[in-house]
Amino acid sequence: MKNPYQSLVDDYARLYREGARLPLGNLPTADVPESGVAGPRALIFSPHPDDEGIIGGLALRLQREHGWRIKNVAVTLGSLQSRRAERLAELRGACAYLGFDLIVPDAFGWEQVTPSGRLNDPLKWEVKVAAVADLLRREKPAALFFPHVDDWNGTHIGTHWLVMDALARVGTDWSGFLVETEFWGQMARPNLMVEVSASQVADQVAGVSFHAGEVLRNPFHLRLPAWMQDNVRRGSELVGGQGGAAPSFDFATLYRLRSWRGGHIEELFSSGKAVPVGGSTADLFPTL
């Protein structure tokens, strides 16, 4: 008997192969509205160049729908010194395409933003923590995007602790929202699923494609739509509740949204939230 799903699976594989022939970067700037200078700001703490586009579903919606100004903080420029200048150039192109501002705390890229760097070289670690704390005081962002503590990759986990240590340093000097992200390691307890339109996913794929040296090694930009489809499967129960019906989303990104108030983390939701395309992402930040 002929398998009725064969053509579906064949089409998935065909589209991936066709995607491999598409250009990398060097694309016209995406059609996005100008970020309002006086609007709320969000900082994305990206462990590596390319993370800004991968996890940026919510940030892009805030920018495009509500005029937020998104600033990407390049925590590192990768581990290979020989590639850092090239990766910075790729990152500038990606951020320009997505309409993100770019902050590079160290022209040569910070080293050892890892749990072992935090443990074994506390003096250099404290220099980085102080720089991030100063950045929070200066920028006064409404929200911070950064990896969750179990995001597998050492630099992703190190970036989590870098932000958390900086928050401990600023204490009550800053209040705002914490948006924890995932990519390499899945969150056990996300509380937010944000639907992303097909046109925005296409822009995220295109933005990640600017990181040509990385996607030639591992074409994760082409797998981004499939990952965002799988997020709907996971989010339907992890966010919506075990046994819950899946929403009719095509693509989504999962987050954990909490707040920083009075020098400590506060929970926001008693249960998970799912925000569809057409729903207001600004309502997630009620005090702004």
The helix/strand/coil state of 181 is: strand
The closest alpha carbon to 162, from 133, 186, 189, belongs to: 133
pLDDT tens string for the chain (288 positions)?
799 999 999 999 999 999 999 999 988 876 655 555 668 999 999 999 999 999 999 999 999 999 999 999 999 999 899 999 999 999 999 999 999 999 999 988 999 999 999 999 999 999 999 999 999 999 999 999 999 999 999 999 999 999 999 999 999 999 999 999 999 999 999 999 999 999 999 999 999 999 999 999 999 999 999 999 999 999 999 999 998 888 999 999 999 999 999 999 999 998 999 999 999 999 999 875
The answer to whether the pTM exceeds 0.85 is yes
Please give the torsion angle defined by the CA atoms of residues 74, 229, 252 and 224, in that order, rounded to the nearest 10 degrees. 20
CATH of domain 18-280: 3.40.50.10320
Q: List Cβ neighbours of 200 (8 Å cut-off, separation of 6 or more).
A: 57, 60, 61, 64
Asked whether the beta carbons of 161 and 115 are under 8 A apart, the reply is yes
Cβ count near 27 (within 10 Å): 16
Rounded to whole angstroms, the Cα distance separating 87 from 210 reads 9
257: which 2 tokens? Answer: 């949204």
Residues composing the chain? 288
Asked whether the beta carbons of 162 and 132 are under 8 A apart, the reply is yes
